[in-house]
Amino acid sequence: MNGSEGSESVAGEQLALAIYAEVDEGVHYLVVKVELDGIPVEGIGVEFFQVFEDGRIQSLGRDVTFDDGTAAYEGFDDSIPDAEGYVTVLVRVLAPKKYVGIEKQSRIKHPNPITSVGAIGLDAGEGLYKQHCASCHTIGGGESVGPDLAGLKARIPGKDWAIAFIKSPREMIKSDDYARDLRDKYPMEMAPFESLGDSNISLIVDYIFANDAGQSPESKGFSIPLPFMMFLFTLAMVFIVVLVVWFGTKANRNSAV
């Protein structure tokens, strides 16, 4: 567990916030513990933010403290660490009114620092790709929710195009024909990843380009989907059974004559 504590006096009361990371059954959480004059406080509304090195602040989620004074954000794995593998977290009190605006900032060690902006090489890009892209795309494994990314380098104008599209697909669709074609073919709209920043997105694109082998899915040869193969096999077996029955019936008729 790592984190920091801080407190602020309001109307003679001392409200203290302690921020730390916690793992429960393999799930990584950001946790804030709120105490008033040393006693855990229930019902304090809080919001978790990530603070980036360039000054941007992104909301992660909200929660309300339980009777032990703790509130948590479940998706700590999805936050983006800095070059040293840490995440700067800001927790701000939302309610009740007398405590609104009290906040505490802390630098927490990320559970998966391989995704660091400052990491060099394809390992960092692979980590980011698996974390943010692999649930909807493959590289050479066929179409999924989105297109197969094999051969992407040959299908788009260049790396800058890929970065711009990943950052904001909706904006690209407004002005780019290929982006509109993707929208028409894959109706589930891709989420924007602007919060990753250009450095992280660049690592993802480098990883995709390095693993697409310069081939598009169409160039990998003809393949038959497994369900269709099973259908053909079943059809062939039925045909064989029919032939056996037909020849058997014909043979019986000939012997009877």
Taking the C-alpha atoms of residue 90 and residue 161, their distance in angstroms, rounded to an integer, is 33
Q: Burial of 196 by CB count in 10 Å (0-12 exposed, 13-18 middle, 19+ buried)?
A: buried
How far is residue 176's CA from residue 223's CA, in Å, rounded to a whole number? 31
CA distance 30 to 71: 8
**pLDDT at residue 19 is higher than 90:** yes
Structure confidence by residue, pLDDT tens digits, 151-188: 898 889 899 999 999 999 999 999 899 999 988 888 78
- Strand-pairing partners, residue 7, are 16
Please compute the mean of the pLDDT values over residues 251-257 and round it to a whole number: 59
**What is the pLDDT, as a whole number, of residue 216?**
47
First-to-final CA distance of the chain: 92
pLDDT of residue 186: 86
Q: Delimit the domains of the chain by residue range.
A: 3-113, 120-220, 225-257
Phi, psi (5° rounding) for residue 234? Answer: -65, -40
CATH of 120-220, one of 3.40.640.10, 1.20.1260.10, 3.10.150.10, 1.10.760.10: 1.10.760.10
Q: Are 167 and 192 in contact (CB under 8 A)?
A: yes
CATH architecture of 3-113: Sandwich (2.60)
How many other C-beta atoms lie within 10 A of the C-beta of residue 112? 16
Torsion of CA 170, 175, 177, 179, to 10 degrees: -20
Give the pTM: 0.47
What is the distance, to the nearest Å, from the Cα of residue 94 to the centroid of all Cα atoms in its chain? 28
pLDDT in tens, 25-66: 888 899 999 999 889 999 999 999 988 877 778 888 899 999
